Chains A and B, each alone.
Chain A
């Protein structure tokens, strides 16, 4: 049972344009959401997070939007740069729970074309 879903395996965007990566979740207990970026043969790198008490969080070129009623979040990257090319993972956790373990989606491969 995939509790966190990233339905787009890949996305290609031109440099300078907006990249929008989407994520859906099914577990209502999730109240903290994160995006990670991963290069091949390396561990995931934390990008940005959002608590369920917010609907938007910004950090530089990265903005995460949360729609709790739809159980949907998205990551916007503006402007996209070739160095953003990587696999992006959405993750969710029950922040008030005992372990705060992360449940990951399957990832979206972003390719930013120069």
Chain B
């Protein structure tokens, strides 16, 4: 399978715990995006990497959120001290030169 892969698919965590999600983009894609989707809304942009460089972060990405893309390959998104408001679907997407981005199946986070 050569699509965008995300792990885990589902995560349930207690409030205050830290969680980390992983995204493996399509191998030749140098651009990687993280989005968040809540019920009744479209995906909202969180952050963007071109190769290993994080070039843009949304104001939605509070200090508790951090993302990395070491060596310009896979990416991780960590949320520290999770809150109930962090419950959402976290989506990763990749593309080569912009235009249509290809999305992974997402990680559904539930904070209890």
- List residues of A whose CB falls within 8 A of some B CB: 4, 32, 34, 36, 41-46, 49, 89, 91, 93, 95, 98-107
Contact = CB atoms under 8 A, between A and B. Distances in A.
Interface stretch (B14-22, B73-81, B93-101): B93-101
Per DSSP, chain B at the interface is strand
Contact of A46 (B35, B55, B101, B105): B101
B100 A46 contact: yes
A101 B45 CA distance: 7
A100 B43 contact: no
B69 interface: no
Interface in B19-55: 31, 33, 35, 40-45, 48, 55
A111 B40 CA distance: 16
Contacts of A102: 33, 35, 43, 45, 93, 101
Given A93-B98, A104-B42, A104-B44, A99 B104 contact: no
